[in-house]
Amino acid sequence: MKKFLLIIEDDFEVLGNGLGNVAYHQYLPANFLMNLCDEIGIKMSFMVDVAHVLELKKNAARSSDIRFQILLWEETVKQMVDRGFDVQLHLHPQWLNATYKEPFFYLGDNWNLGRSKQDEQEILIKNSVEYLTNLITPIKKDYKLSTFKAGSWGLQPSENLLALFDKYNFKIICGLRKDMHIPSAGIDYRGLEEDTLPYCPNYKDVRKVGKNGNLVIIPLAYYSPDFVTLSRLLYHLKVKMRKKQDPSIFYNKSIPNEVYSNNGIKNKKILKFGMHPYLTHLKFSNEPFSYLKKSFDTVHKRFLKLEGNGIPIIFESHTKHYMGNYNNISKFLKYIITQYNETVEFITFSDYINNYMSKTKVICNEDI
């Protein structure tokens, strides 16, 4: 077992306000990522937003475009499984009770599943588990959902939500990160008791370490770039914004402001004073190679101070933002393969649960 178990997880979704198209934002970049993974000999986990496709299916009779997007979504997910990739659950609750006025979906303003009504939480989780199980078991008979990645990182309030994931036999929950604070979504992970290693959560407060149980939280690996690195990133993103694809090309009407401006995480607290003004986590989508390299080098160096082997590190991906950045992503993943071969092993969430979790350190409070 190597020192680090690197889990690439991709949030397979359209834009948070409901805009976009399965072909452009999901199928094409996901296919690129699968091809790249096959080329360099690794596997990864796709966290698929089932809340989105369930809403599409409710409105399938109203649009041939919606029916085509459903078909493409399902065939892409089945292709993931057929090619040996891991498929797990991701949910964006703003799709709950959405309204369709052709050709737009008007989504809700709650982007945190923990804030949803308890009966809505259970119905969505139950329906999502059943849907994915029915979709995938004809291809992979032993398929089991085991991991949940929170949409917009939202898991608060946590007590009922964690109890539901326990009820439906989930094993791993992710989305929390040190000092993440998004007031508009009711998300506040300041005071996270364990910000690096896997831990057993206290169901009443997901930030706290609890007793040994069925669920394990794997925190996102936090990273704070220095001022120079951040400046280069902002310049790169500014240039990218000029070339960014306008989502209006996917529609035959102007996008209503009510749809375009829907942003449930608009006041995310990410900046602070000092030489490291920006706190984020390991992720890749539209960043330059230099930023991606620096982020992983920095986190890898910090994690080397930890004792033991088999330490999971999550790398968050958003394929919906890959367009125009394929070369940087390819170069970066190949860099990790060559530079860190002795310390890093690429695995999936299912790999971790089946082969590593019982053999590696999980922080629990046995005194509770």
236: pLDDT strictly greater than 80: no
257: pLDDT strictly greater than 90: yes
245: pLDDT strictly greater than 70: no
Find the range with the poorest average confidence among 134-138, 186-190, 207-211, 241-245. 241-245
What is the average per-residue pLDDT within 42-52? 98
Range of the domain at 202: 4-359
> What's the burial of 67, exposed, middle or buried (CB within 10 Å: 0-12/13-18/19+)?
middle
For the stretch 53-100, pLDDT in tens is: 999 999 999 999 999 999 999 999 999 999 999 999 999 999 998 999
With residue 228 as reference, give the H or E element that holds it: helix 227-243
Is residue 262 situated within a structural domain? yes
The predicted pLDDT at position 368 comes to 45
The predicted pLDDT at position 241 comes to 61
The predicted pLDDT at position 187 comes to 97
The predicted pLDDT at position 233 comes to 83
> What's the burial of 201, exposed, middle or buried (CB within 10 Å: 0-12/13-18/19+)?
buried
Helix or strand or coil: residue 146? coil
The predicted pLDDT at position 367 comes to 47
Q: Report the chain's mean pLDDT, rounded to a whole number.
A: 94
For the stretch 189-209, pLDDT in tens is: 999 999 999 999 999 999 999
The predicted pLDDT at position 234 comes to 83
Find the range with the poorest average confidence among 305-314, 340-349, 358-367. 358-367
Amino acid code (one letter) for 10: D
Output the pTM of the full model. Answer: 0.95
The predicted pLDDT at position 271 comes to 59
DSSP-assigned letter for residue 363: B
Q: How far apart are CA 175 and CA 290, in angstroms?
A: 25
pLDDT band at residue 276, thresholds of 50, 70 and 90? low
352: pLDDT strictly greater than 60: yes
The strand pair at 104-106 and 99-101 is best described as antiparallel
With residue 47 as reference, give the H or E element that holds it: strand 45-49
pLDDT band at residue 266, thresholds of 50, 70 and 90? confident
Residue 198, domain CATH: 3.20.20.370
What are the backbone angles phi and psi of residue 18, rounded to the nearest 5°? Answer: 95, -10
The total domain count for the chain is 1
167: pLDDT strictly greater than 90: yes
Is residue 365 situated within a structural domain? no
